[in-house]
Amino acid sequence: MSQWPDGHLYAATVSFDFDAEEVWIGENPANANAPGVLSQGAYGPKVGVPLILDILEDAGIAASFYVCGKDALRHPESVRSIIEAGHEVAHHGHSHTSPTSLGPGEERAELEDGLRALRDLGADVVGYRSPSWEFTDDTLDLLTEHCLEYSSNLLDNIVPYLHSTHDLIEVPISWILDDAPHFWFANDTWEKTIRSTREVLDVWLPEIDGIARYGGHAMVTMHPMITGRPSRLAMLEEVIEHLKRTNAWIATTREVADYARANGPLELRRTARS
C-alpha cells in the first residue's frame, strides 16, 4: 500500500535555488563590483528561468523556487513570472549569507527583509531554505515566530517529518540530488572539473529509483544558472520524464509538507527491486 496520494509509489519535488547574483556576492563581497562574475548568476533569471518555465509548463508540473530577497528586488519580473506560472516561491535569505555568520539581530532582519521582498511581489511564502542549508540556535524559533510552515534544510532523512521541538515540517534535501556539487564551476580554482549530464544522470536516476523503492521523497535541487544551460535543460526534461515513468507524486515542497503534516509520520518501506 502506498503512503502517498493516489497510489503513487513515492514523492518528488523539482526545486530551484534562484541564487542569481547574490550567491556570487555571498561567496565574496568583492564580486559585487565584478560584472563578469555576476553575469554567471544573471544568466539564471535572464535565460535559465524562462527556458525552465517552458519545460515545467510542457510537463504540466509545479516546482518550488527558493529566492533571496535581494535577488527578487533585482529581478522582480522574473520572480513574478514564476509566481504567475503557478509555482511555489519560498525564502532563501535576503542576501545569500549563512545564518551562522549573522548576529541574532541580523538573522531576524534577513528573515524579515527577505519575506517582505517576496510578499511584495505577491508570493505566498510558507517555507524556508537557508542559503547554506545551516541553522543557528535561533533559526527554528524565528521561522515559527514568522508563521512559516516548513524548513527544507536538513539531510537526515528521505521522508519529510515533523520537527520534535517546533511546529515545522522538515522536507529533507541531499547533496547527491543537487546540481551544484556535480556542475558548479568558478574560475578561482581550475581543479574542479565540470561533469557531463550523462555522468550526473548516472548518479541521479539510481538514487531516485532507490528512494522510490523505499517509498520516500526525492528532493531534486537545481539552480537556473546551472541547470539553465542548454545541455542540462535536456537533462531536466529527462529527469521529469523519469519521475513520471516511475510513478512519482510530483509536488511542490509546500504540498509535500502539507501532506506530511496531515498524514505523518511517513515511513520507509522497502519493496522488491525492479
**Which lies closer to Zn ion via its Cβ, residue 90 or residue 256?**
90
State the cell numbers at 21: 547574483
State the cell numbers at 250: 510530483
CA nearest neighbour of 236 among 72, 48, 110, 36: 48
According to DSSP, the residues that pair with 67 across neighbouring strands are 91
According to DSSP, the residues that pair with 120 across neighbouring strands are none
Least distance in angstroms from the C-beta of 11 to Zn ion: 23
Least distance in angstroms from the C-beta of 92 to Zn ion: 6
State the cell numbers at 170: 522538515
User: Sign of the C-alpha dihedral, residues 149, 154, 159, 162?
Assistant: negative
**Which lies closer to Zn ion via its Cβ, residue 16 or residue 249?**
16
Distance CA 167, CA 164 (A): 8
Least distance in angstroms from the C-beta of 96 to Zn ion: 6
17 lines the binding site for Zn ion (CB under 5 A): yes
* Residues between 120 and 149 that touch Zn ion (CB under 5 A): 131
Distance CA 85, CA 104 (A): 36
Query: If DSSP codes are grouped into helix, strand and coil, which group holds residue 128?
Result: strand
22 lines the binding site for Zn ion (CB under 5 A): no
Least distance in angstroms from the C-beta of 222 to Zn ion: 11
179 lines the binding site for Zn ion (CB under 5 A): no
**Which lies closer to Zn ion via its Cβ, residue 8 or residue 96?**
96
**Which lies closer to Zn ion via its Cβ, residue 27 or residue 207?**
27
Q: Which member of 13, 19, 213, 246 binds Zn ion (CB under 5 A)?
A: 19
Least distance in angstroms from the C-beta of 93 to Zn ion: 8
| Number of Cβ atoms within 10 Å of the Cβ of 265 | 10
Provide the binding-site residues for Zn ion, judged by CB under 5 A: 17, 19, 131
